Homo-oligomer: A and B are copies of this chain.
Amino acid sequence: MARYIIGVDVGGTKIATGVIDKSGKLKKKVILPTLSAKGFKVSLQQVYNSIDEIMNLSKVRKSDIAGIGVCAPGPLDPIKGIVHNPPNLKGWKEVPLVGLLRKKFKKKVKLENDANAAGMAEAIWGAAKGYKHVFYVTVSTGIGTAVIIDGKIYHGKNGMAGEGGHVTINYDGKDEVCGCGNTGCIERLASGPGTVKDLVKKLKKDPSNKTSILDMADGDPGNITMVMVGEAAREGDKLALDTIKEQGRRLGIWLGSMISLLDPEVIVIGGGVSSLGDLILRDIKKAIPPHSINIYAKKTPVVLAKLKRDVGIFGAASVLM
């Protein structure tokens, strides 16, 4: 009967909403602006509108919809269905989103944080299909992770588990304070902005460096982005290649520790960094075995995520599978 799930990916700037059938086919999607700057009431109305709109556009009968899955930036409580106060959603404070949507649409509703949802989608429809114990990593402006155990997202006591991006690998690292306040988190050391920060530091020490990244950034280190670094690396720029090599090495060392602790069946790498493909995967894989006590670390597959652009919608829907 109920063959469809609505997935709502609430982001800082846009809300991506789709109807997915249980085989993982995206039937239809709509994108609305979040308008969080206009206040919480406006952006909540945008969430409502996006669901109304997708039901109209997709022409799926309401009785065919099993439920509504929502993903949003953390911190949030997936167990109680409450969005705490994400820095990316201004004005949202302790919003009982699950309750609100359940009341409005009379459907089953579930809430999950971005990284957990994306990991679950990969486990159901993507690169980790068929695996039960999955460690999912998304490397973009931050580093998010999902710990999937026995095919379910592991939430821990307070629904806050899975913040592997804030595991420190350099506890006394000077100048390596993470956005979270901790020192030496892998997010600080290997996310996009963290990687660019270290590159700029290197450039300042060696201003004669003839990297093409600086040209792309119109000569201003403040303009450098990870996309530029990737582009320059593909063109053979040495500083860019060295930077990605080191980013891969750090991720590999950290993943070696994660394998020691969690012994997953597979590691999936998603987020912006996954578009670097083999350029970074090679160094990640190289660094893992010498940095894990697990004798099977070398055999643990490390693969790129499969779900790209619409991973948020798939992620949101996956929590209802």
* Copies of this protein, total: 2
Are A257 and B160 within 8 A (Cβ)?
A: no
Residue of B156, B163, B169 touching A169 (CB-CB under 8 A): B169
Interface size on A, residues (CB 8 A): 49
Q: Which of A181, A257, A261, A262 has the most CB of B within 10 A?
A: A261
Contact indicator A261/B147 (Cβ below 8 Å):
yes
Smallest beta-carbon distance A300→chain B, Å: 8
Does A155 touch B at the CB level, under 8 Å? yes
A290-B172 contact given A75-B295, A154-B149, A263-B157, CB 8 Å threshold = no
Are A168 and B265 interface neighbours, CB within 8 A? no
Per DSSP, are chain A's interface residues mostly helix, strand or loop, or mixed? loop
**A257 in contact with B158 (CB, 8 Å):** no
Q: Please tell me if A182 contacts chain B, counting CB pairs below 8 Å.
A: yes
- Residue numbers in B under 8 Å from A75 (CB-CB): 295
The closest CB in chain B to the CB of A147 belongs to B261
| B-side contacts of A145, CB under 8 Å | 261
A110 within 8 A of B: no
- CB neighbours of A258 from chain B (8 A): 167
CB distance from A164 to the nearest CB of B (A): 5
* Chain B: CB-nearest residue to A291: B182
Interchain CA distance A295-B166 in the complex, whole Å: 13
- Indicate whether A262 sits within 8 Å of B182 (C-beta atoms), given known contacts A168-B253, A169-B168, A295-B75: no
Across the interface, do B161 and A261 meet the contact criterion of CB distance under 8 Å? yes
Question: A170, B172: Cβ atoms under 8 Å?
Answer: yes
Inter-chain CA distance A290–B155, complex, in Å, is 21
A277 CB to closest chain B CB, in angstroms?
24
Are B167 and A253 in touch, CB under 8 angstroms? no
Q: A133 at the A/B interface (Cβ < 8 Å)? A: yes
- A182 in contact with B294 given A154-B149, A164-B261 (CB within 8 Å): no
* A256 on the B face (CB < 8 A): yes
- Contact A163/B261 with A133-B157, A157-B296, A296-B158 known, Cβ cut-off 8 Å: yes
A262 to B184, CA, bound (A): 18
A260 near B163 (CB under 8 angstroms)? yes
Q: Which residues of the partner chain B approach A291 to less than 8 Å between Cβ atoms?
A: 168, 171, 182-183
Contact in complex: B262, A180 (CB < 8 Å): no
Select one of B156, B167, B261, B290 contacting A263, CB under 8 A: B156
Which residues in chain A, 207-222, are within 8 Å of chain B measured between CB atoms? Answer: none
A-B contact pairs, 16 of them (CB 8 A): A133-B156, A147-B261, A147-B262, A149-B154, A154-B262, A157-B263, A158-B263, A159-B263, A160-B294, A163-B294, A166-B293, A168-B253, A168-B291, A171-B250, A182-B257, A182-B292
